[in-house]
Structure 1
Amino acid sequence: MDADLDTLATALYVTTDDLLLAHPERVPARPKVGIPPRTSDAEMLTLAVMQALLGYTSETRFLRYARKNLLGMFPNLPLQSGYNKRLRKLATTMTWLISELGRQTSIANDDVWVVDSAPVECARSRETVKRSDLAGWAEYGYCASHSRFFWGLRLHLVCTLQGLPVGWALTGAKADEREVLNAILDATPHLGAGTRQIVIADKAYYGRGFEAGLDLAGIELLRPSRKGESPRPGQRFFKPLRQVIESVNATFKGQLDLERHGGKTVAGVCARIAQRVLALTAAIWHNDALNLSVRRSLIAYDH
């Protein structure tokens, strides 16, 4: 196999189709009476990944590109409204597929994870904030890395040192990162019984009770010492590894347009964020199958 978009799309479609046939409960329910869609769920998920990798934030522009260049692979492309509705209904399926693809990689059992959150801006003007359907979930928060306030959400991500997403969550901008991490870990099947998992975090993941709970769950938390704390052991060794999560967040923002998602509703934002996490996972899954040294590289797929 080659590291190009057509090969990735073919491999992803075949794998996704097999997985959905084996797990029909993972696809959205459809009425028994009616006209079945001409574009299968596996095709829709493959198109969603291709859209994210190619950098099309507009579904209309992507479908225009697809009709010109991808009809040989997808002869029954839906209209823009149908494409949008199908993707929103497939958001839960995308989340499940992210885990399934991750489990098929050789790096899924990495005993070192990194965790952090990244801002997902949803509006800038006050008028947009006031009339947005996201009000009540999206909120004002502060991005320390860019020293700025924003209105929107946060993408909380746990990934391996190769950048493979292990668990993720989308919350309000002010959500407690420690509570979110506990929720992600509780829902993560990758935690092996009887093994110690190392999680590298930043200073926001602190607290005796919090760390004691992680320790009982078989997780060793490594983080920098906070102001007034005694130096924590091993800081000089894991500090360079913290850059992994910063690099993954940069991939989401720079190559997968995380903050240009274009979602206007809760369902729309969830689908678009899941689409981007799935695209990164699919690229890593394919690069791992090719045994490439850099699993997280998207260069071969963005044109």
Structure 2
Amino acid sequence: MPEKMITLYCFFDELLRAIGHKDDVQAKLSTAQVRTIAAVAAEFFTGNQQAALDFLISHGYIAPFSKSRFNPRLHALPETLWQMALYVPAQVHQKTNPEHVHVVDTFPVPVCRNIRIKRCPIYRGKDFHGYCASKREYFYGLKVCLIVTESGEPVEMLLVPGSTTDIAALRSMDLNLPENSTLFGDTGFLDIAFETALREEAGLDLVVPRRKDMRQQLDGCLEYVCRYSGKRVETSFSQLCERLARSIPAVTPRGFELKVFLTVLAFSIIG
């Protein structure tokens, strides 16, 4: 645990130095420390920032600092800093993926139990009612659309309302992948027109198993590789699902989404 926390701090600190970020001279916590605390909370304390603060203060990692002062600092950080933090390890993972093979999948992040939907203060509306086919259960909250390398390292993610279909989520992603990359997905991402557009406009091959009643079928070997690639990254998705399945303490949509993002970010940096 100490090694992972130090790794997170060094990563954030070096990244901020590289882009020329400077903290206010009166700040008691640096921006790197603020981001590290948030990531430690997501990774080790199920998003409980007070527990993370208490732990880090009691072990001498940071000076005493209240949560009431920490939250404004955290939420004042621009979105671009967080996106850059995910982009950098993604580029490292791409370099260890010379074949440019990727897998895309989605998994649910419930904001509350179904019985508490009417009392959920964070999200309202039918857009957040989703269904997870693999688990055969309904949920209320968000869906994470995640692209990983063949070995399971995250390279791109998107948060969408729970009712969003898999293919609609994929269409909304930037898809900043190397040219001539292959992207495997399950039948939820089946869209022949979108496959053709990706191939012609972005040079990306989206490979999805066909339904049995379709005329256009994949080659038998390609069909096997497609299904095998999905199974190889199941461990990564199951680890993330396990971390996000636990109750995430949040009172605002922004806070909830940030903690989900931080969980994926920490997984990308330290595994």
- TM-score where L is the length of structure 1: 0.77
Tell me the amino acid that sits aligned with residue 22 of structure 1. Answer: A
- Give the structure 2 partner of residue 243 of structure 1: 231
Structure having greater relative contact order (Cα 8 Å, sep ≥ 6)? 1
Call closer, same or farther: CA 1:244–1:91 in 2, change over 3 Å: farther
- After superposition, the CA RMSD in angstroms is 2.6
- Residue 78 of structure 1, aligned match among 41, 56, 65: 65
**Residue identity matched to 2:227:** K
1:37 is matched with: 27
> How much does 1:81 deviate?
2.4
State the aligned residue count: 265
1:232 and 2:222 matched: no
Paired amino acid for 1:272: K
Counterpart of 2:139 in 1: which secondary structure? strand
Match of 1:48 among 32, 38, 49: 38
Q: How big is the shift at 1:122?
A: 1.0
For 2:191, the aligned partner's letter is G
Aligned to 2:130, what secondary structure does the other structure show?
A: strand
Q: 1:179 aligns with which of 146, 164, 168?
A: 168
Displacement over 4 Å in runs of 4+: 125-128
1:186-201 alignment runs, 5 A limit = 186=175, 188=176, 191-192=177-178, 195-201=179-185
- Specify which of 202, 220, 238 is matched with residue 205 of structure 2: 220
Query: Are the counterparts in 1 of residues 46 and 248 from structure 2 also a CA contact under 8 Å?
Result: no
Task: Show the counterpart of 2:58.
Answer: 68
> Whose helix proportion is higher, 1 or 2?
2
Look up the match of 1:202: 186
Tell me how far 1:240 sits from its aligned partner: 1.7
Distance 1:121 1:258, change over 3 A: same
Distance in 2 between residues matched to 1:111 and 1:131, nearest whole Å: 41
Q: Secondary structure at the match of 1:260?
A: coil
1:260 aligns with 2:244: no
What secondary structure sits across from 1:104 in the alignment? helix
Q: Deviations over 1:33-61 (max 9, x none)?
A: xx843111111222223223324442222
- Output the amino acid matched with 1:88: H
Residue ranges of structure 1 left out of the alignment (5+ in a row): 285-303
Counterpart of 2:265?
278
Conservation of the 8 A alpha-carbon contact between 2:46 and 2:246? no
Counterpart-to-counterpart distance in 2, 1:134 and 1:36:
37
Please give the TM-score of this superposition, normalised by the length of structure 2. 0.86
- Note if contact 1:123-1:151 (Cα within 8 Å) is conserved in structure 2: yes
CA-to-partner distance for each residue in 1:106-146, whole Å, 9 max, x for gaps?
A: 42655001001111101225554355232148511111111
Amino acid at match of 1:224: P
* Structure 1 range deviating more: 195-204 or 221-230: 221-230
Distance 1:53 1:131, change over 3 A: closer
Contact 2:144-2:159 at 8 Å conserved across structures: yes
**Partner SS state of residue 140, structure 2:** strand
